[in-house]
Structure 1
Amino acid sequence: MTIYVILLRAIGPITHKIMSMAQWRDAVAAAGYDAPQTYVATGNMIVGSDKGIAEVTADMNAVVRGLGLGPGNVAVVRKAATLHRLVKANPLPEAAAERPSELTVYFFAGARPDFSWLGDYEGPERVHIEGTHLFVDYAGRASQSPRLPGLIEKRAGTVTARNWNTVRGLAERAAARG
């Protein structure tokens, strides 16, 4: 059985009124997934399955649609091993140690995000590409970064982001599952 981490895009107070994390867990269990476990209330789940990643992604998107969320609430699925590798890589260790809530990892829905535009980006943020994931050290609040979050989605594709604390917590919990 493979352990997967599901990251829902665009989850917040408005979507919680439509779909609670408990409803999501129950629906995922009813869809045949092993021991769905949510982590914090921002659309993170760990599950076990014998299915492949494409089928898990399709199932998760169907579940959230069935619970009333719209097409903007995309499920981005990664194997637990991928999160483990990202945490182990820790490409911006100073930010991870000193300001983990300001270090963001972007997870793209598409298989090949376009990062070519980053070579020309001149912002105050530090960025690092790790495979198909983008690390951004905002060195302050992401909400104070006027351009970069919008540029990431516009130029690299549909994405969801988690701060380093959340990525590390998900990786630890997923590893504990096997």
Structure 2
Amino acid sequence: MKAYVALLHSIVLGDGRRVVMADLKAMAEALGCRAPRTLVATGNLLFEAPEKPLAELEAELEKAFEKTFGRHVDIIVRSAEDWSRLAAGNPFLAESERDPASVHVRVMRLPLEVDMREKLLGYCSRGERVAIVDGDLWVDFAGKASESKLLGALTTKRLGIGTVRNWNTVKGLRGMVAG
């Protein structure tokens, strides 16, 4: 068995409905995942399963999610080891510790090209900084992400399938995979 982290792009089902984490865990158990657990109501699922390609796990989870909740949601899966490596690669660690809500990572299904950093710099007007580490996009929003033009540029259409997590969530998941 291998430990994995699954990140849902959205837990909003429409009409004010959200995915209940107990239902998400039950869905994972029905797929044969062991020890499913979540990090509060953030759309993050940790579980154990036989080792297989990440793309296969993503497809299985997405299909089960659509069947269970009636809506397609992109799901990104990383092994526990890869998640620990992602957290250790935070290029804005000092800023993250000072203001965890200002640093985010967009975890990508397919790695971003290095030149994407240059394309995003045009959206940085308030001191934001961006870095691509192992294909994932790290952003120091230098304050509230919601006040940045850059946040609106981090779309699936522009960057491909991925999902954003703040440093508090990254650290919380790192602690769960380590423990």
Q: TM-score, normalised by structure 1?
A: 0.88
- Report matched runs for 1:80-99 at 5 Å: 80-99=80-99
1:126-137 equivalent positions in 2, closer than 5 A: 126-137=129-140
The match for 1:169 among 158, 167, 172 is 172
| Aligned counterpart, 1:55 | 56
Other-structure match for 1:144 = 147
Measured in 1, the distance between the counterparts of 2:16 and 2:24 equals 10
Alpha-carbon separation, structure 1, partners of 2:146 and 2:36: 31
Aligned to 1:24: 24
- Alignment of 1:160 with 2:163, yes or no, is yes
Unaligned runs of 5+ in 2: none
Contact 1:18 1:68 in 2 (8 A): no
Q: Aligned pair in 2 of structure 1 residues 18, 145: CA closer, same or farther (>3 Å)?
A: closer
**Number of residue pairs the alignment of both structures matches:** 173
- Is 2:29 the partner of 1:67? no
Native 8 Å contact 2:117 2:131 kept in 1: no
User: Aligned-pair distance for 1:108?
Assistant: 1.4
2:108 equivalent in structure 1: 108
Q: How much is the aligned-residue C-alpha RMSD, in angstroms?
A: 1.9
Superposed displacement of residue 67, structure 1? 1.6
What is the TM-score of this pair, normalised by structure 2? 0.88
Structure 2 residue matching 1:57: 3-state secondary structure: helix
Q: CA deviation at 1:89?
A: 2.3
Note the alpha carbon deviations across 1:31-82, whole angstroms, 9 max, x for none.
Answer: 10011001120200100011312221111101210122423x2111111111
Shift of 1:18: 5.3
- Decide whether the 8 Å contact of 2:141 with 2:148 is kept in 1: yes
What is the CA–CA distance in structure 1 between the aligned matches of 2:34 and 2:136, rounded to whole Å?
27
1:4 equivalent in structure 2: 4
Aligned residue identity for 1:92: F
Contact 1:115–1:156 (CA under 8 A) maintained in structure 2: no
| Corresponding letter in the other structure for 2:111 | R
Name the % identity: 33
Alpha-carbon distance in 2 for matches of 1:83, 1:171? 7
Amino acid of the residue matched to residue 152 of structure 1? L
